[in-house]
Chain A
Amino acid sequence: MLFSLFVTAREGLEIALIITILLGYLRSINERGHFRAIWYGVVAAAVLSLGVGIGLEVASRELDGRVLEAFEGFTMLFAVAVLTWMLFWMKRHSAGISKELRHRIDTALSRGSMLALGLLAFSSVGREGIETTLFLFAGSANQSSDALFVLGGLLGFVIATVAGVVLYYGSARLPLRQFFLGSAIVLMVLAAGLLTNALADLHEATLLRELGSRPWDTESFISMTSDLGKFLHTIFGYDAAPAISQIVLYWTYLVAVLAAYVLWPVSRPPRQTFEVAGTGVVATTKAETLADAS
């Protein structure tokens, strides 16, 4: 449940921010009449993401045995790769996203194209939606309760929606910068767990012949089939007797990605310097980040 809740709360908030920027800008330039185009794009993106999720689920139900294990293993690896790339992309480019979206809205409006506005919302939201779908599908292979997994996912989206409404109406300042840093770390921990689970799946699919020795066994302390064992398996990729390759992969990924994320520079748009007319005062424009957009 916590896995799906974390994923949808974080990714849902990214989606909410994008929609807030689009609607907020249209509102500020008195173009509320174009809200409908944005919402059409958002709904289309949601349908596409849902379709991808249903497609993955149907495909996995058609498979069994080693093919299913291989499918799940590769999906987990792909989901981790996409998520890691998106986390870094978001950090690197967050400074210019708000400005870029506004520029693209201006371009669409100047052409009088409702379709372009809808496509803008569709592509921006769809990218996040498919990323969310991939990560949820990869994580669902290890969850212990279908109902709780779905409930967690819905709860995360509710949290993100409420945050989006609060941002749009500007009734409160949310600690977005802290939330994005904290949730990025949580997602990296979840991704590291998925990596070790992917190794186990590929081993079960006999695509990996050896995982190496298993230096310890904590089964008598926390059983893999106990509720706590299942919970830790889902969140941290807990294995009572992990193979040395799983241990090395887990910690190498976590330490390397965390260190790189903290050190990864944020790309800020060049500050525009100008002189305030007649005063001799030189001012600079404030860089806008996704988090500043609120």
Chain B
Amino acid sequence: MAVVALAAAVYACGSSGEGGREVRISQGEDGCTPESVTATTGEKLNFVVTNESRKEPYEVEGEGGTELEEIVVPEGKTREVGFDVPDEPDTYEIKCYVPGDVTTIIEVEATAP
């Protein structure tokens, strides 16, 4: 247990936090808003996702090769997840959905600064 406690302390010290420009996403009964976000390449975004519906589990994850850590947002809760916009100008897709129910593809349009 001492090893676990020590490791936890080390992990805690190494925690980077979210940081980046805050982008609020709302999860509703019929899907997620906004459906598009503009960003510059290489920018760091911080998605603050709130489940305002009565649905569970509401999830957010990368789609079509977009690298974004999956988060699950319980009903009435808010969760944050960081997203590093790639250096290549493109449209990156993020899937916001309830399995077997509503799905919204949020497009992050990344342009060169």
Residues in A lying within 8 Å of B, measured CB to CB:
2, 65-66, 69, 200, 203-206, 211, 214, 217, 219, 223-228, 230-232, 235, 240-241, 243
**Complex partner residue of A228 from B15, B18, B77, CB under 8 angstroms:** B15
- Chain B: minimal CB distance from A262 (Å): 17
Say yes or no: A225 contacts B77, CB within 8 Å. Answer: no
Say yes or no: B99 contacts A65, CB within 8 Å. Answer: yes
Say yes or no: A225 contacts B8, CB within 8 Å. Answer: no
**Complex partner residue of B15 from A211, A217, A226, A243, CB under 8 angstroms:** A226
- Distance between Cα atoms of A69 and B72 in the complex (Å): 13
Say yes or no: A235 contacts B4, CB within 8 Å. Answer: yes
| Interface residues in B85-113 (C-beta closer than 8 Å to A) | 99-100
- Chain A: minimal CB distance from B34 (Å): 21
Closest to A219 in B: B79
- Chain B: minimal CB distance from A76 (Å): 16
Residues in B lying within 8 Å of A, measured CB to CB:
3-4, 7-8, 11-12, 14-18, 56-57, 59, 69, 71-72, 74, 77-82, 99-100
Say yes or no: A227 contacts B99, CB within 8 Å. Answer: no
Say yes or no: B81 contacts A231, CB within 8 Å. Answer: no
Residues of chain B with a CB closer than 8 A to A231's CB: 7-8, 11
Asked whether A232 and B80 contact (CB < 8 A) given A226-B15, A227-B14, the answer is no
Say yes or no: A214 contacts B74, CB within 8 Å. Answer: yes
Closest to A217 in B: B77
Residues of chain A with a CB closer than 8 A to B72's CB: 200, 204
Residues of chain B with a CB closer than 8 A to A203's CB: 56-57
Say yes or no: A225 contacts B11, CB within 8 Å. Answer: no
Residues of chain B with a CB closer than 8 A to A66's CB: 99-100
Say yes or no: A227 contacts B78, CB within 8 Å. Answer: no
Say yes or no: A225 contacts B99, CB within 8 Å. Answer: no
Asked whether A241 and B99 contact (CB < 8 A) given A204-B59, A226-B17, the answer is no
**Interchain Cβ contacts under 8 Å between A and B, 24 examples:** A2-B3, A66-B100, A69-B99, A203-B57, A204-B57, A204-B72, A204-B99, A206-B99, A211-B56, A217-B77, A219-B78, A223-B79, A225-B69, A225-B71, A225-B80, A225-B82, A226-B16, A227-B11, A227-B14, A228-B8, A228-B15, A230-B11, A235-B4, A241-B74
- Chain B: minimal CB distance from A116 (Å): 42
Say yes or no: A227 contacts B15, CB within 8 Å. Answer: yes
